[in-house]
Amino acid sequence: MWSRYYYGDAYPQPERAAPDYNLSCCTRDKLLAARQGLLDDGISLQYLQLDDWWYHGPHPLKNFGGVKCVDRWELPVDTYPGGLAALSKSYGLPFLLYGPYFCEQNQWNQSLVPVGADAGVPPPEESLSFYSKVFDWVVKHGGNAYEVDFMNELFLGIPEFRRTLDAATVWQQGINQAGVLKDVRTQFCAYCIPDWHPSSQVAQTSSS
C-alpha cells in the first residue's frame, strides 16, 4: 500500500502569527498534479495523509514544542473552494487527518488536559465522546483515518496521564472505540512503551 503526504509546516513563520498556515507547498493544483504523476508512474494510492500544514492553530508555547495544535480543521476557501470534502472528491481518495493535540480554544469546545496548558487532549473519561465527534467530522469531510502524533510527548507532557494508573490507556481506548463506532482507522506515532502495549491489544489502531 502506498500513501503520500505533504508537509509544509517547516516554512519559517513567526510564532502565533497570522496566517497560521503556509500553503505555498501544497496548493490544490500541486496536489492534483502529484496524484496524476504517481498514477502515470503506475503507483497506486489508497489515501492521502494531510499532516500539519493546512489546519488553523498556533504552535503551543507552554507544554509542547512540536507542531501546531488543532483549532479548526479548515482549508482556506480562496485556494481550496469547497474545503476538504471538495478536495477529496477531486483527488478521488479519502484522507488521513492529523492532530496530535488540540488548542485550548477548539472547534469542538472541548476542555483539555493538562489543565492550564494552551494545548492538550480530552480527559481520559471524555475520550470516547470527544473522538466520536471528531471522527464524525472526519467522515463528513472525506476522511477515513486519523493520526495522533508525538505520543511520547503526550505521555510525558501530560501529568494527568502519569498520576493516575491507566489514565493514558483509558484515553487511547476511547480513541480506538470511537474509531470502531465511526469506522475510522487510527494510528499512534512516535510512541513510547506505555503507548505501544495498549495499541497492540486493539484492532482499529496501529502504531508506528
Triad 31, 69, 17: Cα angle to 5°: 80
Q: 3-class SS at 2?
A: strand
Q: Cα-flanking dihedrals φ and ψ of residue 97, to 5°?
A: -95, 160
Note the pTM of the prediction, 2 decimals.
0.85
Residue with cell 472525506: 142
Question: Tens digits of per-residue pLDDT, 22-71?
Answer: 676 778 888 899 999 999 999 988 899 888 888 888 888 888 877 889 99
Question: Tens digits of per-residue pLDDT, 65-122?
Answer: 778 899 999 887 777 888 888 998 999 999 999 999 999 999 999 999 999 899 999 9
Q: Cα-flanking dihedrals φ and ψ of residue 181, to 5°?
A: -65, -35
Of 47, 59, 49, the residue nearest 11 (C-alpha): 59
